[in-house]
Amino acid sequence: MLTGKTALVTGSTAGIGLGIARALASQGAQIMLNGFGERGEIERACSEIEKIYNVRVMHHPANLMHANEIYEMIEWTGAQLGPIEILVNNAGIQFTSPIDEFPRDKWDAILATNLSAAFHAIHDTLPFMQRNGWGRIINIASVHGLVASVNKAAYVAAKHGLVGLTKVVALETAGMGITCNAICPGWVRTALVEKQIEARALQSGLDLETAAAQLLLEKQPSRQFVSAEQIAQLALFLCSDAASQITGSAIPMDGGWTAQ
Ligand code: NAD
């Protein structure tokens, strides 16, 4: 149980992050959501989770591309809900293109959101965790933190960087009651992947479901999508006492993708 603990989940207005936020709330944690979206929808998500699990849920709109906004979000979370004990660096964006045509601004945006934001959030949160003698940092990396695919230079570089950062933080916090791990999902059918399915469908004249099946067939031996709920259960386990000796690891949940 995580009763009374404060969790910040970045990029949690949708997809995997929202799934993780719900799971943490289900165990009694107070939640700071973060991410973009329509105001009314975000408010509905906050009050729905609050009502179901009887915990406090708030939202901070920090744009993670800016270190100062991350700092403000962490300070505000501390003031509203108490020091952050569980930090889930989840927000991420994607853009695909061959490297010689890869737009420089897309490279900068992906590195800022998928890698530097995690550094800034850990940098600003760790002192609280060290003072408390307990903390859980979970970085949502990707199979692309372990292996590469074509046309994903920025994403693969950022996710490999995130796995590296995870290891350094684990070493620097070892023995302090703090763990830092990366979860490396394969295909999960969220907005981030739906765009890639749509692009494939458009390019090859396939319907969406056939394009999705093709995407799976290419990389994910199980031929099934991982669900946000499954990833959330792994995150919960990493927060438990049973996982106190798992640190610095990069755990795939990928239907066999990286076994090949
Ligand atoms: P998603 O697009 O459904 O959700 C992304 C979330 O991040 C949203 O809440 C969005 O508002 C937020 N976000 C994006 N840019 C932001 C910014 N600058 N500041 C604040 N919030 C921002 O994506 P998802 O599929 O749920 O992805 C979540 C994480 O999981 C990402 O890091 C992604 O790389 C990783 N991942 C996804 C898959 C997959 O197949 N979907 C696979 C492996 C890893």
> Which ligand 1 atom sits closest to the C-alpha of 141?
44
Mean pLDDT over 160-188 rounds to 99
Q: Does the Cβ of 27 fall within 6 Å of ligand 1?
A: no
CA of 80 to the centre of ligand 1 (A): 25
Q: Does the Cβ of 255 fall within 6 Å of ligand 1?
A: no
Q: Does the Cβ of 139 fall within 6 Å of ligand 1?
A: no
Confidence of residue 214 (pLDDT cuts 50, 70, 90): very high
CA of 131 to the centre of ligand 1 (A): 30
Confidence of residue 102 (pLDDT cuts 50, 70, 90): very high
CA distance 216 to 256: 11
Q: Ligand 1, atom 8: nearest CA belongs to which residue? A: 11
Q: Does the Cβ of 125 fall within 6 Å of ligand 1?
A: no
CA of 190 to the centre of ligand 1 (A): 8
State the average pLDDT for the chain: 98
Q: Does the Cβ of 15 fall within 6 Å of ligand 1?
A: yes
Q: Does the Cβ of 195 fall within 6 Å of ligand 1?
A: no
Q: Does the Cβ of 196 fall within 6 Å of ligand 1?
A: no
> In this predicted model, what pLDDT tens digit does every residue of 66-90 receive, in sequence order?
999 999 999 999 999 999 999 999 9
pLDDT of 8 reads 98
CA distance 8 to 46: 13
Mean pLDDT over 144-152 rounds to 98
CA distance 249 to 163: 8
- Catalytic residue positions? 155
Which domains does the chain show, CATH number per domain? 6-186+227-259 (3.40.50.720), 187-225 (no CATH)
User: Other CB atoms closer than 10 Å to residue 106's CB: what's the count?
Assistant: 17
Kindly report the backbone phi and psi dihedral angles of residue 116, in degrees, each rounded to the nearest multiple of 5, phi listed first. -65, -35
Confidence of residue 154 (pLDDT cuts 50, 70, 90): very high
Q: Ligand 1, atom 44: nearest CA belongs to which residue? A: 142
Q: Ligand 1, atom 32: nearest CA belongs to which residue? A: 92
> Which ligand 1 atom sits closest to the C-alpha of 13?
9
- Check: CB of residue 81 under 8 Å from CB of residue 58: yes
- With a pLDDT cut of 90, the percent of the chain lying above it is 100
**How buried is 188 (Cβ within 10 angstroms: 0-12 exposed, 13-18 middle, 19+ buried)?**
buried
> In this predicted model, what pLDDT tens digit does every residue of 36-62 receive, in sequence order?
999 999 999 999 999 999 999 999 999
Confidence of residue 164 (pLDDT cuts 50, 70, 90): very high
CA of 10 to the centre of ligand 1 (A): 9
